[in-house]
Chains A and B, each alone.
Chain A
Amino acid sequence: MIVLVLVLLVLFPLLPSSYALGVLTDVLIFGLFAMSLDLLLGYTGLVSFGHAAFFGVGAYVAGIVGIYGGPEIYFTLPAAIIAAALAALVIGFFSIRTAGVYFLMLTLAFSQMVYAAAFKAPFAGGSNGLAGIPRPTLGFGLGFADSIAFYYLVLAIVLASYWTLARLVASPFGKSLRGIKENESRMRSVGYNVQRYKLAAFVIAGAFAGLAGALRAQFNFFVAPDTLYWTTSGIALVMVIIGGAGTLIGPALGAALVQVLQNLISSYTERWPLLLGAVFILFVLYAPKGMIGLLEQRKQVDQETSTQQAKSANAL
């Protein structure tokens, strides 16, 4: 199954549709963004409503470095990751002091502050956004300007990030985060410095979100302040919940569903946000474990029916 998906992803550019390739590139980028949020939401139990801040910081920094510095990938991506991680360190330092709904409100408020700053900063292009962002290059005349080459770059980075995050959640550190999500006070009473772990998770998630943002800016050659707006955080949250929090692969599936639906539906109607909100509410009400949860339920039902069938077969 996994091999099949990988083969399809690798062979996809053979299809002659550049539109479809563009959608898939976006799916991968948002998949990474959603996975980074899942580290907080699904594994640490931190409900951040301001994850767009780091996505946006990554996008802007990759853009600014790309335009004013140079398009080399060795500069643009690390700069974006470091800047996003630093932003997460500062916002996290304040937000982590609170819990539950306060944390949620603070992350939302701080991200709106970053949005306002981008709106006002002249070097970020103000309300017009930042245009003319170059695709990354490797030097020696090699680069990812071509959309197929850029797709493969994104695919490689997203797969490597997924592998890293999957390793991370399986590591003792990742298990500690799960413990914090389950029972924060007990973690304290067995000697965990919970705040440090939360902050570390927040910074790591911010760094990956920054990486996703940088790729998105390079993909579009452009960043709008909207990248930092609450709706971007909201869409990431929707992707995680629809896909299934705490599974990494679920949020990536959620990203695929949302992006593909958006592309399909937007050509028929402008009421996409309305539909997205409705789908989201349906998931919250009836399938809180997301698509992955639904698949697992289905599997269980199948198993049960097959055992029943086996039983009735034996009876005959």
Chain B
Amino acid sequence: MTCLDALRIDRLRKNFGALAALNGVSFAVAPGERRAIIGPNGAGKSTLFNLISGELTPTSGSVFLNGADLTREPTYLRARRGLGRTYQRNNLFLNLDLFENVRLSIQRILGTSQNILRPADRFEAVNQRTRELLRQMGLLEQRTALAKNLSYGAQRQLEIAIALATEPSVLLLDEPTAGMSPAETNAITALLRDLPRTLTLLIIEHDMDVVFGLAERVTVLHYGEVISDGTVEQVRNDPRVMEVYLGVTTAARV
């Protein structure tokens, strides 16, 4: 294929002592694709995200973003190259208000964050963009609330807003709907579905309705290895997946 992958993972390994959390994982994600990463607990999904975002260094293997090798780059440079992520457990600025939580991302991408001379409130372009994003996320009314005082659902939305604010080209979403009510889950799913196709999404998710509602392709991890990779239909019908994963889940659900 001539088209450049948005994200390519090449034989990625991560050992914690004797334990191989990730055992040579390779896959590629095309630009604009919606890819779900599924697998039972302990399959290595969050480790995979931490390796992609640079919060962990791999034992071996490489990570490419839009064709550029990022394996040796620190987290903040990966973010500047267009990699965004959210966390499974809310990772917010708890003692800052909601507006400030998002503004920190916006002022970084607009390049004003090192300005030392003017009060932050006077950067109209930054504030404007922050308000727009908050409106889009339905969070604008709560903008003066401290992040720690928000409801769990709003915190989960803020988690996504902070990442979206950096205008990533590839966004890693680590269980975006974890712990949410069905109504909140639907709202988040709708919001993610409406994101522009210039953005590539990787989603770790346990809720199969969310997975099948959003993703075009699915990668299945099991004990640190890719056991299946294909369209939703292909993966659904893959006997190995049924055996180690979906079978168990459906049984448990019913």
Contacts and interface: CB of A to CB of B under 8 A. Distances in A.
Interface residues of A, number: 23
B92 A171 contact: no
B112 interface: yes
B132 interface: no
A189 B116 contact: no
A175 B103 contact: yes
B63 to A, nearest CB: 15
Interface string A180-196: 00110111111111100
B30 interface: no
A99 interface: no
Interface string A192-236: 111000000000000000000000000000000000000000000
A191 B80 contact: yes
A171 B94 contact: no
B55 A185 contact: yes
B250 interface: no
A174 interface: yes
A172 interface: yes
Nearest to A171: B116
A167 interface: yes
A168 B75 CA distance: 26
A192 B118 CA distance: 19
Contact of B96 (A170, A173, A182): A182
Given A173-B113, A175-B107, A176-B104, A191 B92 contact: no
A126 interface: no
Interface string B91-116: 11111100010011101110011111
Interface stretch (B161-169, B188-196, B227-235): B161-169
Nearest to B162: A190
Contacts of B55: 185, 189
B93 A183 contact: yes
For B112, B119, B121, the residue with the greatest tally of chain A CB atoms inside 10 Å of its CB is B119
Contacts of B246: none
Given A188-B75, A189-B79, A192-B108, A179 B116 contact: no
Contact of B94 (A182, A185, A189, A192): A182
A179 B120 CA distance: 13
B222 to A, nearest CB: 27
Contacts of B116: 168, 171-174
Nearest to A183: B93
Contacts of B123: 172
A167 B104 CA distance: 17
A192 B80 CA distance: 8
Contact of B119 (A170, A178, A183, A193): A170
Contacts of B80: 191
B156 interface: no
B100 A183 contact: no
A110 to B, nearest CB: 25
B232 to A, nearest CB: 29
B53 interface: yes
A172 B75 contact: no
A248 to B, nearest CB: 14
Contacts of A168: 116
Contacts of A190: 79, 84, 104-105, 108, 162-163, 165-166
B120 A191 contact: no
Given A179-B93, A185-B91, A192 B120 contact: no
Given A173-B114, A193-B76, A186 B91 contact: yes
A198 to B, nearest CB: 13
B216 to A, nearest CB: 26
Contacts of B121: 170
Contacts of B103: 175
A288 to B, nearest CB: 14
28 contacts: A170-B119, A171-B118, A171-B119, A171-B120, A172-B112, A172-B113, A172-B114, A173-B113, A174-B116, A175-B103, A175-B104, A176-B107, A176-B113, A182-B94, A182-B96, A186-B91, A188-B74, A188-B76, A188-B79, A189-B79, A190-B79, A190-B104, A190-B105, A190-B166, A191-B76, A191-B77, A191-B109, A192-B108
Of all A-B residue pairs in the complex, the 6 with the closest CB atoms, nearest first, are: A191-B79, A182-B93, A170-B119, A173-B116, A188-B75, A190-B105
